[in-house]
Amino acid sequence: MLIDNDATKKLLEEIEILIRYAVPEEEQAVASNFLASFQEDMFALGVIKDYYQTLPDAREEALVKISALEEKEQVFLLLLSTSAHHYYYLTNDEGGLFLGEWDKGIVDGHVLSFFDYPDEEAFKKTHTSIKECREYVPLERLNEEICPSCGIKAGGLHTLGCPVEVCPWCGGQLNHCNCRFEQLDVEELTDEKKLTELEEKLEKKGRIPYAREQRPSFLTEEGAVK
Ligand SMILES: [Zn+2]
Ligand SMILES: [Zn+2]
């Protein structure tokens, strides 16, 4: 895979300049160190640049963490954290959008339904606390050894519910095919007991661990690096 060194270098320099203007002196080292950990990751650099350009709520704070909450069809829902605030950020390769703060939740119904959540409650059940949000690993969008959705390494089992997991009964997408309902003989999966039952059935059948072939097509050749 080719990485465009000139483009990443230019982007890095641009962000360094933004940081100098956007962040008070005592936070600049923190901001620069964080930036340096993503120096080869065009996707993350784009996110960081947008953060410093936008400075949500005009707060002048260093960005210290990027968490990956959701991913579907090349659209990522991230959580961008400073030491004091946490912002939802929706992005694809074309651009990004700040959706507001963690505390206020996701109010946009289109965003929720895009990621297959019927309502905000359901979203909150999956993303219960900031601490449990999975940190975005530098280069993970380019690293084929890591599941792009749940972050498990090749050979490991996905987090149950990960959209990349392959169904052992039909070979389709486990969270999209009907097998889970058929296996449990239910119309929908809502209670914990049924979920545990599904997990047991899956284990008996044999869950399919993550392998690079399961990666969604957006991560192959074109589109991966620009
Ligand atoms: Zn996964
Ligand atoms: Zn199936």
**Ligand located closest to 158 CA:** 1
CA 128 from centroid of its chain's CA atoms: 15
162 CA distance to ligand 1 middle (Å): 5
pLDDT of 148 > 80? The answer is: no
Residue 139: the pLDDT is 79
The residues spanned by each domain of the chain are: 5-132, 143-226
CA of 92 to the centre of ligand 2 (A): 28
Does pLDDT of 202 surpass 60? yes
Distance 210 CA to ligand 1 centre (A): 6
> What's this model's pTM, rounded to 2 decimal places?
0.67
**Residue 96 pairs with which residues in a beta bridge?**
91
pLDDT computed for residue 118 by the predictor: 93
Rounded distance from Cα 12 to ligand 1 centre (Å): 30
Instruction: Supply 15's token pair.
Output: 């962000």
Ranking 31-40, 53-62, 90-99 by mean pLDDT, the lowest is: 90-99
Give pLDDT, residue 145. Answer: 80
DSSP state of 214: G
Express as a percent the part of the chain with pLDDT over 70: 92
Tokens of 219: 């991560």
In the predicted model, what is the mean pLDDT of residues 67-91?
92
- Which secondary-structure segment (H or E) carries 193? helix 192-205
Structure tokens at 225: 């690096």
Nearest to 68 by CA among 42, 47, 94: 47
Distance 157 CA to ligand 1 centre (A): 7
Structure tokens at 224: 């991966």
pLDDT at position 161: 84
pLDDT band for 222, please (50, 70, 90 cuts). very low
Report d(CA 138, CA 131) in Å as an integer: 19
* Span from the CA of 147 to the centroid of ligand 1 (angstroms): 5
Closest ligand, as measured to the CA of 165: 1
197 C-alpha to ligand 2 centroid (Å): 16
Q: How far is the CA of 152 from the centre of ligand 2 (A)?
A: 21
Which of the pair, 140 or 156, is modelled with greater confidence?
156
pLDDT of residue 18 exceeding 90: yes
Q: What is the 165 CA–ligand 2 centroid distance (Å)?
A: 10
Q: In this structure, which ligand is nearest to the CA of 170?
A: 2
In the predicted model, is pLDDT for residue 151 greater than 60?
yes
Residues above pLDDT 90, as percent of the chain: 64
Q: Give the residue with greater pLDDT, 159 vs 221.
A: 159
Answer yes or no: is pLDDT of 112 > 50: yes
Q: Is residue 223 over pLDDT 60?
A: no
DSSP code, position 168 = T
Cα 183 to ligand 2 centroid, rounded to whole Å:
9
